[in-house]
């Protein structure tokens, strides 16, 4: 192949073999490659006007990768090769925003838009003002910080004051420049969006892999930015459109919003080309209508138009309400609706065992996205709609909600009514619909659809306290088929765990030890761990006090169950239905075989583990409320006093403990935390 020079960036396009570098300094070539890749990324991902073919671009990246692999010392923090996604992370660190990331007030009609304009005019004392109109892209907002001209940090909106550090994931977004001209630190804010074509492709792939589809591009964008593995974000091809430029303190860099958008574009950021200055609200109204007509032909989702006062001094004058600026408004477009036919209704089982009927539709494009499923929520909703299979319906997509059926527009010529199944479509377990509840649920605790949730509950604090058995581990245990029932936890071997991702011999031993320890926890914990609806910690203890034996609870009639304190018909029915289910009886038998506690030695007030001890409780405890803590202390024979004195044996202190903690320290009273208390209580009850 002949060496060619790219007219855009002047680089020699033919990939050079390693031994060709003899007369060229390798670091010079790496610099040149980075500069060239940056240029082409900007052309392709920001300006949508590529100058070279994909293959030529790939060749440049590959060459740089080879160079950097051979000479890791040459890797710079802004190298485009870092966009492929680095190591997975354990979680996201929380980071405070430089100034709050607020949301916008909405105008749902042109009248509301004009009313907003009237308020602005009044507040500005009839001074001249103009608006900048931008599309309201339906994604999620993110702040990106730059230092010394290099991308440094990306933070999600979070609660507006504090967001999550998603730097490594954001780095994989090709339209986010890794290097800019301005060297003084600054921050940009904008929207991470998923384009529709990429969204449809992703959903098609997920369907093939038997994974649940994303409901809309916005959810897909959120799901892709907040994954622990940057490689996944990289594969999803997100886009980042910016609309604010701020200094380090969170103040706007320019006096005109319009000017700041131009500046952002000149720095290499992607700024939506659909932006316009409007001299007055009528121009804005006309523009909103014009852009709405083009809505479906855009490559990404929008849900309205944002109007902002152009002059920053005027923005300052207008100020903010508690949740939104008074200088901007979002004109929201109506939800998009289309008619189609319901060809079938299937039932999905969620993580809590709740059954959701799903309408299968003749595929139809709504707002630029092909819709072939819509949620029907529950049985009552189907009744309310009067829907049967074969009917023509109006479906609606709006914002980030799952497409839904609005109403039946025409009954089908042949119609088939839908009935909720009596058996779970996933495991064959019993389906129960509690009185007064909309949802029908599978009550098999080991149903594969709810197994991960069941294990999470089983292991959680205050239940069987299996520390170290977190979501990531549960995910792997179930996906690899190592745990098909919560009882399987008791048969796991250290070696099986040590082989899993993010585990090692030490953490494996730790988890196994904690699983073993849970065998000794008192019976009410075991009962609570089963995840029976309406049976929380307190009910479990009352049932245990009354029956003293888990097997007796399992075989009790609804009437007998109601003999226990505070157990009414609803709770009794739920417990009875749970143990009627074969799978759950088998689970119980296996838990018994694994050595869990089935007999209850009711903690006696007389002679309990905390007999004769006085406690004072202060501060916020990690899991228990103060009331819970008091109840536990009293149940174990201890006393709880209001103030610390020389007679106090222990101060149970949580976070933000104040004067009581000081007093206890002065008097030399022992201070314990929640874990310490639980340990003291349990020591005697084992
Ligand atoms: S301005 C205080 N401009 O809409 C200023 N927001 O409902 C708030 N959004 O949280 C942001 N496109 O996620 C602004 N051109 C645009 C936008 C936009 C989409 C989102 C953003 C924001 C939400 C407000």
Give the model confidence (pLDDT) of 276-334 as tens digits: 999 999 999 999 999 998 988 899 989 899 999 999 999 999 999 878 999 999 999 98
Across residues 421-450, what is the average pLDDT?
89
Alpha carbon distance 568, 544 (integer Å): 15
Is the pLDDT at 400 greater than 90, yes or no? no
For residue 588, being part of any structural domain is answered with yes
Q: Which of 98, 103, 116 to mutate to test the pocket of ligand 1 (most atoms within 8 A of CB)?
A: 103
- Indicate whether 454 and 373 sit together in one domain: no
In the reported structure, the alpha carbon of residue 317 is separated from the centroid of ligand 1 by a whole-number distance in angstroms of 20
CA of 158 to the centre of ligand 1 (A): 14
Residue 656 in domain: yes
pLDDT value of position 90:
62
pLDDT digits (tens, 9 = 90+) for 501-558: 888 889 999 999 999 999 999 999 999 999 998 898 889 988 998 999 999 999 999 9
Within this chain, do residues 456 and 373 fall inside the same structural domain, yes or no? no
For atom 16 of ligand 1, the residue with the nearest CA is: 136
Cut 0.75: pTM above it: no
Could you say which of 387, 410, 433 is where a domain stops?
A: 410
Residue 60, domain member (yes or no): yes
Q: What confidence score (pLDDT) does residue 169 get?
A: 92
What per-residue confidence (pLDDT) applies to 502?
Answer: 83
490 and 380 belong to one structural domain:
no
At residue 1, the pLDDT reads 44
User: Per-residue pLDDT averaged across 643-654, rounded?
Assistant: 89
Mean pLDDT in residue range 614-636: 85
One domain, residues 319 and 374: no
Which region among 376-390, 452-466, 598-612 has the lowest average model confidence (pLDDT)? 598-612
362 with 464, same domain? no
Note the pLDDT of residue 401. 64
Averaged over 597-625, what is the pLDDT?
A: 81
CB 239 within 8 A of CB 45: yes
Query: Is residue 89 one of the residues assigned to a domain?
Result: no
Res. 2: pLDDT tops 60: no
pLDDT band at 205 (very low <50, low <70, confident <90, very high): confident
**Helix axis angle, 281-294 to 110-123, nearest 10°:** 150
Cβ atoms of residues 490 and 656 within 8 Å: no
Closest by CA position to 95, among listed 34, 161, 21, 24? 161
Is the pLDDT at 4 greater than 80, yes or no?
no
Q: Do 346 and 297 sit in the same domain of this protein?
A: no
Residue 91 lies in a domain: no
Q: How far apart are CA 473 and CA 419, in angstroms?
A: 37
Give the domain CATH number at 469. Answer: 1.10.150.20
Q: Any long-range contacts for 402-408 (C-beta under 8 Å, 24+ apart)?
A: 402/215, 402/216, 402/374, 402/375, 403/215, 403/366, 403/371, 403/373, 403/374, 403/375, 404/374, 404/375, 404/377, 405/342, 405/359, 405/374, 405/376, 406/337
Given this model, what pLDDT does residue 14 score? 58
Tokens coding 46: 């920001």
Q: 679 lies in which domain range?
A: 614-683
In a domain? residue 607:
no
CA distance 127 to 434: 62
Atom number, ligand 1, closest to the C-alpha of residue 140: 13
Q: Give 15's pLDDT tier (boundaries 50, 70, 90).
A: low
Q: How far apart are CA 648 and CA 614, in angstroms?
A: 5
Residue ending a domain, among 332, 355, 376, is 332
Tell me, in angstroms, the distance from the centre of ligand 1 to residue 593's CA: 57
Which of 402-406, 412-416, 546-550, 671-675 has the least mean pLDDT? 402-406
Same domain, 404 and 441: no
Give nearest CA residue, ligand 1 atom 6. Answer: 136
Mutate to test the pocket of ligand 1, among 99, 137, 301 (most ligand atoms within 8 A of CB): 137
Q: Whose CA is nearest to atom 2 of ligand 1?
A: 102
pLDDT at 456 over 70: yes
- Smallest CA separation from ligand 1 atom 23, residue: 103
User: Residue 658 corresponds to which tokens in the numbers above?
Assistant: 């104040």
**Distance between CA atoms of 680 and 100, rounded to whole angstroms?**
44
Residue 606 pLDDT > 60: no
CB of 85 within 8 A of CB of 224?
A: no
How wide is the angle at C-alpha 97 spanned by C-alphas 94 and 98, nearest 5°?
Answer: 145
Mean pLDDT of 383-397: 94
- Residue 266 pLDDT > 90: yes
The Cα 17–Cα 26 span in angstroms is: 12
The pLDDT value recorded for residue 685 is: 43
Share of the chain above pLDDT 70, in %: 94
Ligand 1 geometric centre to CA of 140 (Å): 8
The set of residues, in sequence order, having a beta carbon less than 8 Å from that of 204 and lying 6+ positions away, is none
* Mean local confidence (pLDDT), 382-392: 95
Confidence of residue 219 (pLDDT cuts 50, 70, 90): confident
- Do 588 and 514 fall into the same domain? yes
- Give the domain-ending residue among 312, 332, 352: 332
Pocket test residue of 136, 300, 319 for ligand 1, highest count of atoms within 8 A of CB: 136
- Residues 134, 221: one domain? yes
Q: How far is the CA of 328 from the centre of ligand 1 (A)?
A: 10
CATH number at residue 68: 1.10.287.610
**DSSP per residue, 266-316:** HHT-B--S-EEEESSHHHHHHHHHHHHHHGGGSSS-EEEEEEEESBHHHHH
SS3 19: helix
Measured in angstroms, how far is the CA atom of residue 330 from the centroid of ligand 1? 8
Mean pLDDT of 217-234: 84
Looking at residue 127, which CATH number applies to its domain? Answer: 3.30.470.30
Confidence of residue 406 (pLDDT cuts 50, 70, 90): very high
The pLDDT of 245-256, averaged and rounded, is 95
The C-alpha atoms of residue 368 and residue 490 are separated, in whole angstroms, by 50
Ligand 1 atom with least separation from CA of 135:
15
Closest residue (by CA) to atom 4 of ligand 1? 136
Q: How far out from the chain centre does Cα 646 lie?
A: 49
Helix or strand run (H / E) with residue 550: helix 550-555
- Per-residue burial over 179-211, b if 16 or more Cβ lie within 10 Å, else e, is bbeeeeebbbbbbbbbbbebbeebbeeeeeeee
Token digits of residue 53: 């073919």
Quick one: average pLDDT of 42-62? 86
CATH number of the structural domain spanning residue 399:
2.40.50.140
pLDDT value at residue 20: 60
pLDDT tier at 686, thresholds 50, 70, 90:
very low
pLDDT value, residue 233: 81
* Structural domain count, the chain: 5
Instruction: Give the catalytic positions in this structure.
Output: 136
Asked if residue 152 belongs to a domain, the reply is yes
Assess whether 212 and 322 both reside in one domain.
yes
Q: Is residue 609 part of a domain?
A: no
| pLDDT value for 544 | 92
**Is 283 found in the same domain as 178?**
yes
Looking at every residue in the chain, the average pLDDT score rounds to: 89
Cβ atoms 433, 425 nearer than 8 A: no
pLDDT in tens, 78-119: 888 888 766 666 668 899 999 999 989 999 999 999 999 999
Residues flanking ligand 1, CB < 6 Å: 102-104, 134, 136-137, 141, 191, 243, 306, 325, 328, 330
Residues 319 and 355 in one domain: no
580 in helix, strand or coil?
helix
């Amino acid at each position: 192949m002949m060496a060619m020079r790219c007219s855009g960036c002047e680089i020699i396009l033919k990939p050079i073999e390693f031994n060709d570098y003899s007369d060229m300094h390798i670091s010079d070539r790496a610099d040149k490659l980075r500069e060239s890749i940056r240029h082409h990324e900007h052309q392709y991902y920001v300006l949508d006007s590529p100058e070279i073919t994909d293959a030529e671009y790939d060749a440049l990246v590959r060459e740089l990768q080879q160079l950097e692999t051979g000479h890791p010392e040459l890797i710079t923090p802004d190298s485009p090769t870092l966009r492929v996604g680095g190591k997975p992370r354990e979680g996201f660190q929380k980071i405070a925003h430089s100034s709050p990331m607020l949301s916008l007030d909405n105008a749902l009609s042109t009248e509301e838009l004009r009313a907003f304009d009237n308020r602005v005019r009044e507040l500005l004392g009839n001074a001249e003002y103009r608006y900048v109109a931008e599309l309201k892209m339906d994604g999620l907002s993110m702040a990106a910080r730059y230092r010394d001209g290099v991308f440094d940090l990306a933070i999600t909106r979070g609660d507006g004051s504090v967001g999550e550090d998603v730097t490594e994931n954001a780095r994989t977004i090709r339209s986010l420049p890794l290097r800019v001209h301005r060297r003084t630190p600054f921050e940009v804010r904008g929207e991470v969006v998923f384009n529709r074509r990429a969204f449809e492709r992703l959903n098609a792939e997920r369907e093939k892999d038997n994974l649940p589809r994303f409901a809309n591009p916005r959810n897909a964008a959120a799901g892709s930015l907040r994954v622990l593995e940057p490689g996944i974000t990289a594969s999803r091809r997100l886009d980042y459109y910016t609309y604010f430029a701020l200094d380090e303190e969170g103040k706007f860099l320019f006096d005109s919003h319009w000017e700041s958008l131009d500046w952002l574009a000149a720095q290499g950021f992607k700024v939506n080309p659909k932006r316009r200055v409007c001299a007055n609200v009528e121009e804005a109204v006309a523009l909103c209508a014009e852009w709405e007509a083009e809505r479906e032909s855009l490559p990404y989702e929008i849900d309205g138009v944002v109007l902002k006062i152009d002059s920053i001094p005027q923005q300052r004058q207008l100020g903010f309400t508690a949740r939104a600026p008074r200088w901007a408004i979002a004109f929201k477009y109506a939800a998009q609706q289309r008619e189609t036919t319901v060809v079938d209704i299937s039932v999905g089982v969620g993580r809590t065992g709740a059954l959701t009927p799903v309408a299968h539709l003749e595929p139809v494009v709504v707002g630029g996205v092909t819709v072939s499923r819509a949620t029907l929520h529950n049985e009552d909703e189907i009744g309310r709609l009067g829907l049967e299979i074969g009917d023509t319906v109006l479906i609606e997509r709006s914002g980030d909600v799952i497409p839904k059926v609005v109403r039946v527009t025409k009954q089908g010529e042949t119609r088939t009514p839908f009935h909720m199944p009596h058996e779970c479509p996933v495991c064959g377990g019993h389906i129960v619909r509690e009185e007064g509840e909309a949802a029908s649920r599978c009550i098999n605790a080991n149903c594969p659809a709810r197994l991960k949730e069941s294990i999470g509950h089983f292991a959680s604090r205050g239940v069987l306290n299996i520390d170290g058995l977190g979501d990531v581990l549960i995910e792997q245990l179930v996906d690899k088929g190592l745990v098909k029932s919560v009882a399987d936890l008791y048969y796991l071997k250290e070696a099986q765990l040590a082989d899993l991702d993010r585990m090692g011999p030490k953490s494996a031993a730790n988890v196994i030890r904690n699983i073993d320890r849970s065998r000794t926890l008192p019976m009410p914990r075991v009962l609570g761990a089963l995840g029976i609806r309406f049976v929380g910690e307190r009910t479990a203890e009352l049932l245990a006090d009354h029956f003293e034996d888990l097997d007796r609870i399992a075989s009790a009639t609804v009437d007998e169950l109601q003999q226990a304190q505070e157990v009414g018909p609803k709770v009794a029915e739920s417990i009875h239905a749970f143990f009627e289910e074969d799978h759950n009886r088998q689970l119980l038998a296996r838990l018994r075989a694994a050595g869990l506690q089935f007999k209850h030695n009711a903690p006696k007030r007389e002679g309990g583990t905390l007999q004769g001890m006085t406690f004072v409780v202060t501060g916020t405890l990690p899991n228990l409320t103060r009331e819970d803590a008091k109840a536990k202390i009293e149940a174990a024979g201890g006393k709880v006093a209001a103030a610390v004195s020389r007679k106090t044996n222990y101060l149970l202190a949580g976070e933000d403990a104040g004067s009581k903690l000081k007093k206890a320290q002065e008097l030399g009273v022992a201070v314990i935390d929640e874990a310490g208390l639980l340990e003291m209580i349990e020591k005697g009850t084992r």
